[in-house]
Amino acid sequence: MAPHPEVAAYRAARAATGTPPLYTQTLTEARAADLAEIRAGTGAVEPVAEVREERIPGPAGELPLRVYRPAGSGPLPTLLYFFGGGWTLGSIDTADGICRRLANAVPCQVITVGYRLAPEHPFPAAVHDCHAATRWVAGHADQLGVDPARLAVGGDSAGGNLAAAVTLLSRADGPPLAAQLLVYPNTDQSGEPTGPADDDPTLFNRRSVAWYRTHYLADEAHARDPLASPLLADDLAGLPPALVVTAELDPLCAQGQRYAERLAAAGVPTRARHYPGMIHGFFAMPGVFTDGRRAQADAAAFLRERFGLPPERAEPADTPTGTAVRGG
């Protein structure tokens, strides 16, 4: 379980500057620090043909959307992307780099949702905001230029958790979804993470997981609700095809891998991509981690395939580090 050389350099730099863990800061400080770090690690900002803001009705008031549209006219395949941040940090802005790159690389329209954050709005507020936004986008496909037959959901970390929860709700209440992109998702909040043994304060660790969970779950009993812990759902059959990305040095790694295995066992076409030596957050920091660029390219290839787009540009220039395919 040796860190990738880029991870070792990143960890050393954080230790040298004395960067405090987010879980030692106030919410205001942590939210600002989280956004600053992601912006610093995202690399060059890619231009897209159009970026615009929308506001839509949500379960408890208006929800902001940001729409990224690549060149082209007519209805486009569309990914709803839910940002990470432990349901406590994060915003539309923290997902900006990911959304721009995926919009260009697939290409597809990407819409990110400004769901409500905990602890001000604990579980299940974020889940219902994301599902409401998904239903609204599908119901206003003409207005947004969405091809409703090619609508997917995705997210990283807490956003991956929310995407998985939305697929459970959409299976029962719609809309139909073409794919789910789950990047190091939190899938089981009922116990302690079983990833790396250490609690290195320079990295996302077990204390990080506990800090976010404390803010998100006002009642510990909610940890066993499948909308908070999708791994605990009785039945995963009938969910959309999935790509699950995991990182070896992430305390959420094992539960992400178990979720991919359960999806495949339920007959869901599931592709798992595992990155040895990588850490939680690498997907959002392609300016720091080569594997972040590879993982984003692999996500684009998966979405291209599920959207039925031509295969050109489908493979990243470098072979992904660690690949496994299950369930088709």
pLDDT at residue 73 in the model: 86
Q: Give the dihedral of Cα atoms 223, 229, 232, 235; nearest 10 deg.
A: 140
Token pair listed for 248:
């070896």
pLDDT at position 70, please? Answer: 97
pLDDT for 193 equals 73
Set 157, 170, 208, 229: catalytic member: 157
Helix, strand, or coil here: 124? coil
Supply the pLDDT for residue 315: 44
Number of other residues whose CB lies within 10 A of the CB of residue 254: 15
Tell me the helix, strand and coil percentages in the chain, rounded to 5: 40, 20, 40
Let me know if 225 is a catalytic residue.
Answer: no
Query: What is the pLDDT, as a whole number, of residue 195?
Result: 57
Separation CA 111–CA 279 (nearest Å): 26
Give the pLDDT of residue 174. 96
Say how many C-beta atoms besides its own lie within 10 A of residue 328's C-beta: 10
For the chain, which ranges sit under pLDDT 50? 313-328
- Lookup: tokens for 158: 């807490």
- For the chain, the first-to-last Cα distance in angstroms comes to 28
Beta-bridged to residue 325, according to DSSP, are: 271
The closest of 208, 121, 225, 105 to 157, measured between CA atoms, is: 208
Given the residues 188, 250, 291, 298, select the one marked as catalytic. 250
280 labelled catalytic: yes
**Residue 222 is among the residues annotated as catalytic for this protein:** no
DSSP class per residue in 154-192: EEETHHHHHHHHHHHHHHHH----SEEEEES-----SS-
CA of residue 71 relative to chain centroid, distance: 24
Let me know: does 266 contact 190? Beta carbons within 8 Å.
no
Give me the count of residues in the chain: 328
Residue of 188, 274, 280, 298 marked catalytic: 280
pTM, full prediction: 0.94
Contacts of 120 (CB under 8 A, 6+ apart): none
DSSP letter at 45? P
Query: How far lies 184's CA from each of 59, 246, 268, 284, 290, in Å?
Result: 27, 5, 18, 11, 17
Rounded-to-integer distance, Cα 272 and Cα 32, Å? 32
